[in-house]
Chain A
Amino acid sequence: MTTLTRRGLNRRSLLTATGAAAIGLTFTACGAKPKAAPGGEEPKLNFYNWDTYIGETTLADFRKATGVDVNMSLFATNDELFAKLKAGNPGFDVIVPSNEFVTRMTQAGMLEPLDHGKIPNLKNIDPAFLNPDYDPGRKYSMPYTWLLMGIGYRKSKVDGVPDSWKWVLDSDKYKGRIALVSEAADLVRLGAKYLGHSVNGVPADMLPRIEQMLIKQKPFVKAFHDDNGQDLLASGEVDLVIEFNGDIAQVMKDDPDLDFVVPKEGTLINSDTLCIPKGAPRPNNAHAFINYLLDAQAGAAITRKILYPTPNAAAKALMPESYRENKVIFPPADVMARCEYGAFEGAEKASLYEEIITRVRAA
């Protein structure tokens, strides 16, 4: 099979790979001024989402329930989303940034505060997700999915369970059989986690240690992947890969020889959230839509399709046991306790991390 057909359908790999092609996607209603009908909004909504990140019939069901026509366009990375909205909102009503970008966009004044009174389905959300550091009190964002970074591996080619970041960041045992993420901040933060520090507030004197470790590890690394690690693993290109649990869960369905583990040092947790960007033309529709996505039935329909961990407790209860009890999708509580959200620590830090990885790759 070719790479193209082998790729699991998932938001984090498909569009990323096509890069510029994503720009070509049409966005017809973009920029159209809303005709503010007295007492209401026109029955339309512009939804900016990741690829393959919605239920089969979710948008049609929403239209049936409310009469609002949802026009969905797609982005591939948070950077793309940020760049598109940086110069002003071109007409989106609901967007799906990840945790770190919620903070970033809030700081940049790019998000509209949410009216919790219009989102009664907030009661469906698992309390553990109600007061995250990146958005205290959920003022600007509603959780849509979450995911953990860990090590995906091929059981028949690996001795035992790679339950430490040492296996991929600080060991030559699997020379040429390892792929790391190319995302600079993730890599630096996981390095800090391996060295026993939190993923946030990494002290300046630890950064050279992380850099040296990665330079030393580089000869044993096959590739830095752009979030398509599950494909490298599934196609036999590598045997150990840093990847998100949802992505590995998808390829594990087809290949029982694959498995996933969250290293004992702990890891990064990510969450994708529903937000309303500043200047959204139809805030009422946007609230109604967010509320609908948090509904138990609608949430379960989405989860059945995308197979990512859901923060929606009511929707999870409607899912089959094979999903609820899946240790890859829902790692045990003691593992979860060692996971942290990567916080947004300012533009200088982002630039600094980027330069560290540029140096590692040029070394």
Chain B
Amino acid sequence: MEQSWKQAKAVFAAALAAPLAWLVVFFVAPMVIVWAFSFGQNQGLTEIAISGTFHNYARAIAPLYLQIFLKSAWVAGLTTALCLVLGFPVALAITFAADRAKTWLLLLIMLPFWTNLLIRTYALIAVLRTEGYVNMGLEWLWKGGGALAALVGLKPLGAFQPLELLHNNFAVVLGLVYVHLPFMVLPLYAALDRLDRSLLEASLDLGAGHLRTLLRVVVPLALPGIASGVLITFIPALGAYLTPDLLGGPDSQMIANVIERQFKRANDWPFGAALSFVLMYLTFIAVAIQAVLAKRTPEARG
């Protein structure tokens, strides 16, 4: 008996060794190096002296950068809220769809992942810009409307003013919602699909309306799914870099853009590392909040 237990332990260790080594070499070790950088300072042009200074952190929490952190959190929060509002009905609809349709609908949700994020963002630029597809379509309708108005003898419409859709904060939030929506829908679907339908029937039979059933029964039961959806959307949105860079306007910089510039143009790795770790601490806080929320849900208690 003891022998087999020891064997199993060896097997367990062998199975664990590879992923553990991977994690240490490619995740923990680089993180430790960057973490050490955050307590260092540039020495000459190519060397970083790890001097144990907190100067980089003091700079990172100066009002200028704190304000950028707050703005990033606000943009990520807005993105997450919009994803939740848009994603919940979608997830609900997929849950109640026929089994055959379900597979296809889920496939549609995952389809955008088959294309590189960069390509999708460029596609959005082509759609949103001044002479992009949205404005071209609107202009066509505008001209059609003008011709129609002239036909029935009304005053002709003025010149078409293209909408400002690109290079502003609206474009950044739109781009982020577009990219992160699947991250919200999938965990919501997973939570809603496990839902005991008889509870809904009971609620409806006992006189609650559809809306009341949704708010008092479905949402509380789906809370763990909502929490993980919120987390898995909020964290990457908080660190978004490409979207504000390509779709944003003059005041759309997010913290990841600032970090990127420290590592590249400013060649100030210690400060970039400090900013990265402040961002990571914020992420840990978000995870902790999620864990607390998950504990308080009825399902976890049961």
Interface residues of A (CB under 8 A from B): 2-4, 17-19, 21, 77, 79-80, 82-83, 86-87, 104, 107-108, 110, 176, 180, 183-185, 218-219, 221-224, 226, 235-237, 347, 350-351, 354-355, 358-359, 361-363
Contact = CB atoms under 8 A, between A and B. Distances in A.
Contacts of A87: 46
A176 B250 CA distance: 10
A108 B130 contact: no
Interface stretch (B101-109, B118-126, B197-205): B118-126
B100 interface: no
Given A221-B250, A223-B250, A236-B131, A354 B64 contact: no
Given A176-B164, A222-B249, A237-B166, A354 B46 contact: no
B68, B118, B264 — which one has the most chain A CB atoms within 10 A of its CB? B264
A361 B264 contact: no
Nearest to B124: A3
18 contacts: A86-B46, A184-B266, A222-B249, A223-B167, A223-B248, A224-B250, A226-B245, A235-B129, A236-B130, A236-B131, A237-B167, A347-B267, A350-B265, A350-B266, A358-B261, A359-B64, A362-B251, A363-B251
Contact of B122 (A3, A223, A347): A3
B91 to A, nearest CB: 31
A347 B126 contact: no
A358 B250 CA distance: 11
Nearest to B135: A236
A300 B166 CA distance: 40
In the A-B complex, the 5 residue pairs with the closest CB atoms:
A79-B264, A354-B266, A108-B45, A2-B126, A223-B167
Nearest to B167: A223
A358 B258 contact: yes
Contacts of B68: 358, 362
Contact of A350 (B116, B118, B246, B267): B267
A80, A185, A350, A354 — which one has the most chain B CB atoms within 10 A of its CB? A354
Nearest to B268: A351
A180 B167 CA distance: 13
Contacts of A224: 250
Given A354-B262, A358-B261, A18 B118 contact: yes
Interface size, B (range): 35 or more
A318 to B, nearest CB: 37
B242 interface: yes
A82 B104 CA distance: 48
A362 B130 contact: no
Nearest to B253: A361
Contact of B45 (A4, A104, A176, A218): A104
B53 interface: no
B250 A222 contact: yes
B44 interface: yes
A267 B67 CA distance: 34
B268 A354 contact: yes
Interface string B48-82: 00000000000000001001100100000000000
Contacts of B64: 355, 358-359, 362
Interface in B247-298: 248-251, 253, 258, 261-268, 271
Given A21-B116, A184-B266, A361-B253, 10 more contacts: A107-B45, A108-B46, A110-B46, A185-B265, A218-B251, A223-B250, A235-B130, A237-B166, A354-B262, A362-B67
Nearest to A223: B167
Nearest to B246: A17
B42 interface: yes
Interface string B114-148: 00101000110110011100000000000000000
B181 to A, nearest CB: 23
B72 to A, nearest CB: 11
A209 to B, nearest CB: 19
B157 to A, nearest CB: 21
A39 to B, nearest CB: 34
Contacts of B242: 19
A184 B257 CA distance: 13
Contacts of A358: 64, 68, 253, 258, 261
A77 B264 CA distance: 9
A80 B264 contact: yes
B46 A79 contact: no
Contacts of A18: 118
A237 B118 contact: no
Given A3-B126, A21-B118, A347 B249 contact: no
A110 B46 CA distance: 9
A354 B271 CA distance: 12
Contacts of B258: 358
A243 to B, nearest CB: 16
B50 to A, nearest CB: 15
Contacts of A107: 45
A78 B131 CA distance: 32
B261 A354 contact: yes
A237 B130 contact: yes
A347 B45 contact: yes
A304 B47 CA distance: 41
Nearest to A1: B126
A355 B253 CA distance: 13
A235 B250 contact: no
Contacts of B67: 362
A180 B249 CA distance: 11
Given A82-B267, A176-B164, A183-B265, A361 B251 contact: yes
B249 A351 contact: no
Contact of A83 (B44, B122, B245, B264): B264
Contacts of A110: 46
Given A4-B122, A354-B266, A362-B67, A347 B251 contact: no
A10 to B, nearest CB: 17
Contacts of A17: 118, 122, 246
Contacts of A218: 250-251
